[in-house]
Amino acid sequence: MKLVLLLALLTVAESDSRPVVGRTGENITLHVKYDRKKHGLLSFCWNRGDIPASGCNNQIIATDGHSVTGASSKYQLLGRLDEGDASLTILNLTDTDAGRYGCRVEIPGPFNDEKHHFDLTIDRAPQTTTSAPVHRDTSTPLTAAGPTTGQLTTGSSLTSSSSSSNGFISTEQESSSVTVLVCVVFGLVVLVTVGGVIIFVRKWSRLNKLPQQPVTSSVLFSSTLSTLQLQSRGSAVDNIYQIDGGGDGGEYELCP
């Protein structure tokens, strides 16, 4: 009896304990490695709780260095066994996985086994909740102390009603904008058409007046020439002197 107690005390004294922290829903690896080149391939086991005096009394997974026994969807040996990697991987952590885990690496010889202990603590992963953004009605000012629960409910209903009314207002505004745009375009078309007609009429009137100006000037010129000719002829007649001599070569009379 005393020998068993002594062995238990020696086992606890020789083992180490390392605290590790994991999160729910995630995986965690408890790292253990022995000297493969010195000892060759060794058997080891993982125990839930303290390592007993011999073996693993609450074994969850073990290996003889070649094949693995006890692997499950919760506990797996994912390290390189041929390189002395004895790490334990715990998948999909839950609150029940918290506690002490121990690993015994069986090294030949009396009291040569390596013992490693890990104290696992589980933290709850932060819950991410996606909530719809709260739209505040700008027409209803909030008090300095902030709205109460009842006010939030009323605000949400007001928000839904205001959002629906805003939908109709935006539709009416859009239709009025389209109407104004059509009126502006129509007015521009009318202005351009009227301006084109005015320019065309002015050009046409100018084209109709241009041929008449030379004819008028020629007529005026010809009439002026005829008047000058008549005046010159009149003056020539006035300057004619008629000489009327008598039969006997007498006196000369000046005809008016």
For residues 21 and 113, membership in a common domain is answered with yes
Query: Could you give the dihedral angle defined by the CA atoms of residues 3, 9, 10 and 16, in that order, rounded to the nearest 10 degrees?
Result: 160
The reply to whether 53 falls in a domain is: yes
First to last CA, the chain: 191
Which domain CATH number covers 56?
2.60.40.10
Running DSSP on this structure, what letter comes out for residue 95? G
pLDDT tens-place string over residues 126-138 = 877 666 555 555 5
How many other β-carbons are positioned within 10 Å of the β-carbon of residue 255? 9
State the pLDDT at residue 155. Answer: 45
More confident residue, 168 or 75: 75
Whether residue 153 is predicted with pLDDT greater than 60 in this model: the reply is no
Mean pLDDT, residues 30-46: 95
- Phi, psi angles (nearest 5°) of residue 72: -145, -175
Q: In Å, what is the CA distance from 202 to each residue of 11, 14, 135, 212, 224?
A: 120, 117, 64, 16, 32
Tally of domains within the chain: 2
The reply to whether 88 falls in a domain is: yes
* Domain that residue 199 falls in: 183-212
For residues 11 and 112, membership in a common domain is answered with yes
For residues 189 and 93, membership in a common domain is answered with no
Using a cut of 0.85, tell me whether the model's pTM lies above it.
Answer: no
CA distance linking residue 6 with residue 16, whole number of Å: 18
pLDDT tens-place string over residues 192-249 = 898 888 888 888 777 776 555 444 444 444 445 455 454 545 544 454 444 444 445 5
The reply to whether 35 falls in a domain is: yes
Boundary-marking domain end, from 72, 104, 122: 122
